[in-house]
Amino acid sequence: MIFDSHAHYDDYAFDKDREEVINEINKNGVIGILNCGSSLEGTRMSVKLANKYDFMYAAVGIHPEFADKFDDNVIEELRELSKNNSKVRAIGEIGLDYYYEDNPERHIQKEVFRKQMRLAEELNLPVVIHDREAHGDTLDIMKEFPNVKGVVHCFSGSVEFAKECLKLGYFIGVTGVVTFKNAKKVIDVVREVPLDKLLVETDCPYMAPVPFRGKRNKSDYIKYVIKKIAEIKNVSSEEVEKQTISNANVLLNI
């Protein structure tokens, strides 16, 4: 069984067969999905999907790529979506992305990240953090909110950074990247982080694991991520399945 802690079934990549894919993965052992908003439109769609499917939950939030679209009306809508729906279980995905030069300016990203961290604190919800090429600034802002917990999704940092996240009470999200040949850094992190602090995720439609690398990802492919984690930690796939489902339930208070 699988709990996908980070998916984007609102993405246009699923427009032609969304319902068919979601029903298929449920039959294939996916018992839980956290669908994460990126844009406001994607957030609204995430909530609709969570309302439609019993095994889906929603995270609401604005990705740093869209930080320049963030204003008081947006934060108020995120607040209302969260307050009035028990299927909304997290604020996300939020954070910092310094990878692309044409992303909003860093000071804008930081301001929007802080505002959404404050919202999570206000609503007593966990956060789903996006951190790309911004480890230092991300960690600094996480430390400003010691009452907020969550997951650093699609983890790309060092073992040292992972340990700092663990000290703050965060989970570490592992994607299909762990199956790639050049995944030494992620493998080191998986080896060092206790199993009870790991989550498995697709980030679908992106990040498909080997043998589907480059193809559209979906939640039942997490079995390849689970198999790889089991190999790294020298435990059974069943143990990884069981513990990561338990971890997702703890994170989302299910």
* Reported pTM: 0.96
203 annotated to a ligand binding site: yes
User: What are the start-end ranges of the H helices in 56-212?
Assistant: 72-83, 106-123, 135-144, 159-167, 184-192
In order of start, what are the domains of the chain with their CATH numbers?
2-252 (3.20.20.140)
107 annotated to a ligand binding site: no
130 annotated to a ligand binding site: yes
10 annotated to a ligand binding site: no
User: What burial class does residue 210 get, using C-beta atoms within 10 Å of its C-beta: 0-12 exposed, 13-18 middle, 19+ buried?
Assistant: middle
Q: List, in order, residues 6 or more apart from 202 with CB less than 8 Å away.
A: 4, 6, 7, 175, 176, 208, 217, 218, 219, 221, 222
Nearest to 53 by CA among 7, 98, 96: 7
CA distance 29 to 65: 33
pLDDT range class, residue 101, cuts 50, 70, 90 = confident
pLDDT range class, residue 84, cuts 50, 70, 90 = confident
pLDDT above 90: residue 202 = yes
Query: pLDDT tens for residues 142-172?
Result: 999 999 999 999 999 999 999 999 999 999 9
